[in-house]
Amino acid sequence: MLPIVLILFFIFLGFFFYKFLYKRSSIDDIRLLSAKNRQMQPHLRAILNRKVSFYRRLNAYQKQKFESDIMVFLEFTDIKGKNGMEVTDEDRMLIASGAVIPVFGFKSWRYLHLQEVILYPGNIPFGSDANGRSMEAVGLVGGGYLQGKMLLSKPALHHGFSDEEDKKNVIIHEFLHLLDKQDGTIDGVPKVLMEHPYIFPWMEMAREEMLKIDKGENQDIRKYGATNRSEFFAVVGEYFFEKPYEFKHNNPKLYKVLSKFFNQQPAG
């Protein structure tokens, strides 16, 4: 008698679990579709035109895709201000642009390791170093308490889009770390972007380039890129998107490889 009751119980449980999952995925599909087809309000489009040079460089068809990708990102990502700080439309547009730019070459993309972005009024404190000095960052993603989250400095976010000479853009940098994390680890080898035979050559290339930066033989890429391979990937990636023509001219081999990874040719 008991086994039959147990079997019935598990069938019953399985049925409800299936219904729950099915319902959730169909709700997600509906949200995705409605966000994808939603028209962007003119004042939001004006922010993109004013602030995001990557968007300005696109043709009409690509601009439409960019807007639609932004709508989808905002539909599934919570953006909050630290301690109730106000989040403006401009903040939201710049954050979403940083998310979309690195993956714009793909038909559709969802960042698996991000549910919310928390905007800070300034630098973000995160513990202390070996000498007891407190440390601060302008952007943070990772594991542990950072799982599913991105912490971001509001002034640094805006600076990233207003100064195009410094090859730095914190929001693109942090999303490149998340892209790297899509395969499970932030290690500078974003396996979701590369076929298996490219993994080792990329690791070799990164090692050689980091050595050149460290020795001062390549001063074109900022020194922080030599910290480790994950920072190397994020640093060259943000430069690739922020100043594509200069990057291509000064680092043609790296440009070629990154173009393949991102499926984009920002310098034409």
List of residues contacting Zn ion (CB under 5 A): 231, 234
Give the integer Cα–Cα distance in Å for 89 and 41.
Answer: 11
Nearer to Zn ion, 117 or 234 (CB): 234
* Torsion, Cα of 91, 94, 98, 100 (10° steps): 110
Give the integer Cα–Cα distance in Å for 33 and 31.
Answer: 6
Cβ at position 93, least distance to Zn ion in Å: 22
Nearer to Zn ion, 209 or 231 (CB): 231
Cβ at position 137, least distance to Zn ion in Å: 8
Residues 79 and 117 sit within 8 Å (Cβ to Cβ): yes
Cβ at position 231, least distance to Zn ion in Å: 5
Cβ at position 160, least distance to Zn ion in Å: 13
Measured between alpha carbons, how far apart are the two ends of the chain, in Å?
A: 72
Nearer to Zn ion, 67 or 231 (CB): 231
Nearer to Zn ion, 94 or 234 (CB): 234
> Phi-psi bin for 167: left (phi > 0), alpha (psi -120 to 50), beta?
left
Residue nearest to Zn ion (CB): 234
Nearer to Zn ion, 103 or 186 (CB): 186
Cβ at position 171, least distance to Zn ion in Å: 12
Q: Please write down the HEC assignment for all residues of 228-263.
A: CHHHHHHHHHHHHHHCHHHHHHHCHHHHHHHHHHHC
Helix (H) or strand (E) holding 150, with range, is strand 149-153
Cβ at position 224, least distance to Zn ion in Å: 8
Q: How many CA atoms lie within 13 A of 119 on its CB side?
A: 24
Please tell me whether residue 104 adopts helix, strand or coil conformation.
coil
Nearer to Zn ion, 66 or 239 (CB): 239
